[in-house]
């Protein structure tokens, strides 16, 4: 579970900005609150804002933190991601902090990065009374210092290792949390627990993300196939059933002359362990390539519709609408949110999906008292601003100030009675987070059009 995220000098976030899932005192939708290690946390949140307000940058910031932790080193391009509208920010570090719950404990991890190097790194078990230090790393004047919890230094071998680590092993562009988790996980189990949360519990879905191996998942896991078919029918997409075609890869692709496919098959034949997902650029179709025994199998999803005579008609996914394909992309996440303790951050959740459909999806999750996951999403869809679906403390707004920096604030900052129509107030600009448009007469587009005609 995600508790809070803090960011500074990254993308459109100039000053320290916090997003959190701490509830207020409202009594609405009480099952949305989950107690984790003595702290109440919300399992649902929506972030609103105009185009360019920075709501996607919130997701991108968390995605960047996840990536550098998984990779274990700082990306060379991170300097270009600093806030660009203030010259002073060029020399200041990028700062990120995240508090989360995993394996019955709350953790807080923080990192500061400058000149593509780590200047500060910190991990603690966060407690109501007092945080318990796991490690703290500082680099000042090119000198690196690492401190572990006092108990760690009771062993002389640990003292020697800590000294050798800071002087010889850990490069300044590499992350301590990643290094210790990958190479010394037995010696540092608390660090490994925190690392694994980023690896296995935190998932981020961008507008262009599609799930890997969905074809193989639907073919090999009956419960997922049953879930997918039930859900797609309820969305009224016209799909009666989803299926998966499975064939020998070379036979399967003999029907196409795509050079991309041929090159991929050749590389996979030489290194079968590299089997994965490929796209046919000409047809737009996606395939999973899976090694089963000695054979390389190609798997492709198809849909079945019913014609006017009651016959089943097979469709390729490329023949389905963008909205239908987007719903398919969400299938693994939706099943996981219901059944697993995972965190999903989805950017532009309503993209290509009808407002009533996305409202039904969020409503199902919101009203499910047994759902185990946590969902955080950005959206423009005002129909979700319904107090029967979202609590006021689950609604956040992004808005840029006069200097172009993103300000992030919760609807809890306003006095919102449980009878107020939030959607109406939002569209009227009562809470901010909406675009400010010039009067169309001021755009003078007819004038520009006439000028172009005169030049012709």
Q: What is the pLDDT of residues 105-162, one digit of tens each?
A: 999 999 999 999 999 999 999 998 889 999 999 999 889 999 999 999 999 999 999 9
Query: Nearest CA to 20 among 370, 376, 415?
Result: 376
Helices then strands, counting H and E runs in the chain, come out as 13, 20
d(CA 115, CA 306): 60
Q: Residues 134, 123: contact at Cβ < 8 Å?
A: yes
Q: Quick check: 289 pLDDT over 80?
A: yes
Helical segments of 29-155, H only = 55-71
Q: Residues 97, 27: contact at Cβ < 8 Å?
A: no
pLDDT value, residue 275: 58
Average pLDDT over residues 13-31: 95
Query: Nearest CA to 95 among 125, 65, 69?
Result: 65
Q: Residues 301, 243: contact at Cβ < 8 Å?
A: yes
d(CA 34, CA 21): 10
Q: Residues 321, 297: contact at Cβ < 8 Å?
A: no
3-state secondary structure of 120: strand
Q: Quick check: 437 pLDDT over 60?
A: no
Q: Quick check: 443 pLDDT over 80?
A: no
Min mean pLDDT across 1-10, 162-171, 233-242 is at 233-242
Report the chain's C-alpha Rg in angstroms: 25
Q: Residues 81, 400: contact at Cβ < 8 Å?
A: no
Q: Spell out the long-range contacts of 15-22 with Cβ–Cβ below 8 A and sequence spacing 24 or more.
A: 15/405, 16/95, 17/406, 17/407, 17/408, 18/408, 19/47, 19/58, 19/396, 19/408, 21/45, 21/374, 21/376, 21/394, 22/393
pLDDT value, residue 277: 73
pLDDT value, residue 76: 85
Tens of pLDDT, residue by residue over 204-230, are: 999 988 888 899 999 999 999 999 999
Q: Residues 365, 45: contact at Cβ < 8 Å?
A: no
Q: Residues 68, 94: contact at Cβ < 8 Å?
A: no
Residue 104's Cβ-count burial label (10 Å; 0-12, 13-18, 19+) is: exposed
Domain boundaries, the chain: 1-207+347-449, 214-324
3-state secondary structure of 4: strand
Query: Nearest CA to 216 among 270, 277, 163?
Result: 277
Q: Would you state the structure tokens that stand for residue 453, as one six-digit string?
A: 């005609």
What is the DSSP-derived secondary structure letter of residue 200?
I
Q: Residues 57, 406: contact at Cβ < 8 Å?
A: yes
Question: Could you tell me the pLDDT band of residue 169, with boundaries at 50, 70 and 90?
Answer: very high
Length of the chain: 456
Q: Residues 22, 106: contact at Cβ < 8 Å?
A: no
Place of tokens 């809890």: 412
Percent of the chain scoring above 90 in pLDDT: 69
Q: Quick check: 365 pLDDT over 80?
A: yes
d(CA 325, CA 397): 28
pLDDT value, residue 294: 74
Fold (CATH) for 1-207+347-449 = Rossmann fold (3.40.50)
Of residues 281 and 243, which shows the higher confidence score?
243
191: left (phi over 0), alpha (psi -120 to 50) or beta: alpha
Q: Residues 259, 265: contact at Cβ < 8 Å?
A: no
Chain-wide mean pLDDT for the chain? Answer: 88
Cα 2 to the chain's mean position, in Å? 12
d(CA 280, CA 323): 20
Helix (H) or strand (E) holding 180: helix 176-183
Query: Nearest CA to 363 among 342, 381, 348?
Result: 381
Min mean pLDDT across 59-63, 248-252, 342-346 is at 248-252
Question: Could you tell me the pLDDT band of residue 272, with boundaries at 50, 70 and 90?
Answer: low
Q: CA dist 176 to 103, 156, 370, Å?
A: 21, 21, 37
d(CA 233, CA 223): 16
């Amino acid at each position: 579970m995600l508790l809070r995220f803090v960011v500074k000098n990254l993308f459109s976030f100039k000053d320290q900005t916090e997003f959190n899932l701490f509830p207020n005192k409202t009594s609405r939708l009480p099952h949305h609150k989950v107690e984790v290690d003595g702290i109440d946390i919300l399992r649902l949140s929506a972030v609103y804002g105009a185009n360019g307000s920075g709501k996607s940058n919130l997701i991108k910031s968390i995605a960047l933190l996840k990536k550098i932790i998984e990779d274990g080193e700082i990306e060379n391009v991170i300097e270009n991601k600093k806030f660009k509208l203030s010259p002073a920010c060029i020399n200041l570090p990028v700062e990120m902090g995240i508090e989360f719950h995993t394996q019955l404990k709350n953790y807080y991890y923080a990192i500061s990065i400058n000149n593509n190097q780590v200047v500060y790194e910190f991990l603690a078990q966060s407690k109501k009374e007092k945080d318990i230090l796991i490690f703290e790393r500082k680099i000042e004047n090119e000198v690196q210092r690492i401190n572990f919890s006092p108990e760690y230094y009771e062993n002389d071998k640990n003292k020697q290792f800590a000294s050798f680590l800071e002087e010889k092993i850990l490069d300044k562009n590499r992350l301590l949390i990643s290094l210790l988790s990958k190479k010394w996980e037995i010696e540092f189990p608390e660090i490994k627990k925190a690392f694994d949360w980023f690896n296995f519990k935190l998932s981020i879905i961008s507008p262009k993300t599609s799930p890997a191996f969905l074809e193989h998942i639907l073919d090999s896991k009956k419960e997922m196939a049953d879930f997918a078919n039930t859900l797609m029918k309820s969305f009224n997409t016209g799909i009666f059933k989803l299926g998966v075609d499975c064939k020998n890869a070379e036979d399967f692709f003999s029907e196409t002359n795509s050079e991309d496919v041929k090159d991929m098959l050749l590389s996979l034949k030489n290194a079968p362990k590299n089997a994965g997902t490929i796209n046919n650029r000409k047809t737009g179709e996606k395939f999973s390539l899976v090694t089963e025994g000695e054979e390389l199998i190609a798997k492709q999803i198809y849909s079945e519709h019913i014609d006017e005579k009651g016959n089943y008609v097979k469709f390729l996914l490329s023949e389905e609408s963008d909205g239908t394909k987007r719903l398919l992309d969400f299938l693994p996440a939706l099943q996981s949110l219901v059944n697993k303790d995972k965190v999903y951050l989805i950017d532009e959740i309503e993209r290509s999906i009808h407002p009533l459909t996305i409202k039904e999806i969020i409503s199902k999750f919101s009203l499910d008292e047994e759902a185990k996951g946590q969902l955080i999403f950005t959206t423009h869809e005002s129909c979700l601003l319904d107090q029967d679906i979202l609590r006021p403390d689950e609604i956040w707004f992004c808005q840029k100030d006069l200097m172009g920096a993103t300000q992030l604030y919760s609807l809890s900052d306003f006095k919102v009675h449980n009878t107020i129509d939030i959607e109406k107030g939002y569209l009227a600009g009562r809470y901010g987070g909406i675009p400010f448009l010039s009067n169309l007469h001021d755009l003078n587009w007819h004038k520009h059009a006439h000028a172009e005609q005169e030049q012709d």
